[in-house]
Amino acid sequence: MRSSTGRWLLCSPSVLTVLLLLVASAALLSACDLGATATPTTPESATATSEPQVEPTTLPTGEVEATPTAPPTITLTIWTIEDFSPTEAITTGQILAEQVTAFQASHPDVRIEFQNKKPYGKGGVLDYLLTTKAAVPNLLPDLVYIDTEELAAAVQAQVVQPFDGLVPAELVSDLYPFARQAGTFSGQLYGIQVQADLDHLIYNTGQLTVPPRSWPGVLSSPRPYIFPAGGQAGLVNDGFLVQLLAVRPWPIAEDPEAPFLEVDSLTAVLQYYQDGVSRGIFPPEILGYHTTADCLPDYLAGQAASTNISAHRYLLERGQLPDSAVAPIPGISGASNPITRGWALALVTPDPARQSVAIEFLSELMSPETNAAWNEAASFLPTRQTAITTWNEEDSYARFADQQLQAARPHPRVPNYSQVGAALQQAIEQVVTGTATADEAASEAIGKVQ
């Protein structure tokens, strides 16, 4: 800049100040531009790394991610009757209900369903098994409670499966001999009997010091002996069959094809009846007794010193029988072998997986403790030999019952039993009423079944 004298005024203080401010502003603007384009490197920024980014998984088109599912539930179906139904109404039902609850708790994938049926006849257990197999076999149960007397028909219809190789060996070997026999057909086990009943003698200890032990003891007794001789549904009572098998056991090992009835043995039993009636030991009223329960009122009234009674009835009534003692039914030359009755569990399902579950549940039901507890509550006899040992050790009846169960046999499997049973009942009625002698009645009965 020049002054009026023509010289540049570069050295003027005000000018220098302006120039310095301009230079400083330019430097500051340059520094700002550098800061916007570069970040100073520090030791931390030089070593730090960023976290890897995880890309979301993309499922192929049309596929859905699987979610865990609960295992399939098996519903184990059991056809039963009211006596073997889980319920809180009675002790036996409570015992079964507890078993069901415990099993389902330890097998969360299993549900147990009981379906009640009638015991017999149209709409009964056997009828339902046969008709369902013919019409809708997929609706058959896995297990079924069935009377041992009807088990043969179920086996013949191939509606039940054999237990061989499925049931624990210790369970089978612990069954009383009669129970194994009752459930065995053609060498294979088809039924596990769960409860039993049989007939034995009770006598009034105020009238008899010792019970009659055999036919001579009965016929020489000073007091009457009563038993059911009126038959049931037109067929002979078990009491007569007990005597017949005491004279001539059947089937005969040496002659398996021998017929059930044989004239000499049948005549002997009918003669025993005839002699008892003629001596006043067997009153004519025995034809009016159809079950041992029918005999009990007259026995309690003092009209007889001894009578046949079922174990079930005795267990129910023993508190009302303080002056009575028990004994085996007298046979021709000693104690007879009682005939048992009862219900069994049979396996229906042929499916191996369902069989495994069914057998496991059956085995728990048939444990010695449960078999003993259920039968004691129901006033029946257990079918496992170790079960009765859990009864009161001081109870003399438990020891007696064990002896009877060891000697017992199942009902004889006579091919044409309906004919045989009816013919025998007619023969008894002829002898007791005096319309025929023992010889005549025996010959006529055999003639009817040949």
Cβ–Cβ under 8 Å, residues 440 and 428: no
Cβ–Cβ under 8 Å, residues 408 and 262: no
Q: Where are the alpha helices (DSSP H) in 326-367?
A: 352-365
Which class for 429: exposed (0-12), middle (13-18), buried (19 or more C-beta within 10 A)? middle
Domain residue ranges of the chain, discontinuous segments joined by +: 74-193+343-379, 199-339+412-449
Q: Is the pTM above the cut of 0.75?
A: yes
Cβ–Cβ under 8 Å, residues 230 and 289: yes
Cβ–Cβ under 8 Å, residues 119 and 53: no
Dump pLDDT digits (tens) for 185-227: 999 999 999 999 999 999 999 999 999 999 999 999 999 999 9
State residue 112 phi and psi, 5-degree precision: -110, 125
Those residues whose C-beta lies under 8 Å from the C-beta of residue 258, and which sit 6 or more positions away, are 250, 251, 252
Domain 199-339+412-449: which CATH number of 3.40.50.2000, 3.30.1300.10, 3.40.190.10, 3.30.465.10 = 3.40.190.10
Question: Residue type for 233, please?
Answer: A
The two beta strands, 409-410 and 339-340, are parallel
Q: Which two tokens stand for residue 309?
A: 């009674």
Cβ–Cβ under 8 Å, residues 242 and 199: yes
Cα 275 from chain centre: 45
Taking only the tens of pLDDT, the chain with its 450 residues reads 433 333 333 333 443 333 333 334 444 334 334 333 333 333 333 333 444 444 444 444 445 455 555 556 899 999 999 999 999 999 999 999 999 999 999 999 999 999 999 999 999 999 999 999 999 999 999 999 999 999 999 999 999 999 999 999 999 999 999 999 999 999 999 999 999 999 999 999 999 999 999 999 999 999 999 999 999 999 999 999 999 999 999 999 899 899 999 999 999 999 999 999 999 999 999 999 999 999 999 999 999 999 999 999 999 999 999 999 999 999 999 999 999 999 999 999 999 999 999 999 999 999 999 999 999 999 999 999 999 988 877 789 999 999 999 999 999 999 999 999 999 999 999 999 999 999 999 999 999 998
Omega of the bond prior to 251 within 30 degrees of 0, cis? yes
For domain 74-193+343-379, give the CATH superfamily: Periplasmic binding protein-like II (3.40.190.10)
Angle between helix 148-156 and 125-135 (nearest 10): 10
Q: How many CB atoms lie within 10 A of CB 371?
A: 24
Residue whose structure tokens are 């030791």: 43
Alpha-carbon span 225 to 212, nearest angstrom: 10
> The dihedral of CA 96, 99, 100, 101: what is its sign?
positive
Q: Do domains 74-193+343-379 and 199-339+412-449 have the same CATH topology?
A: yes
Alpha-carbon span 354 to 361, nearest angstrom: 11
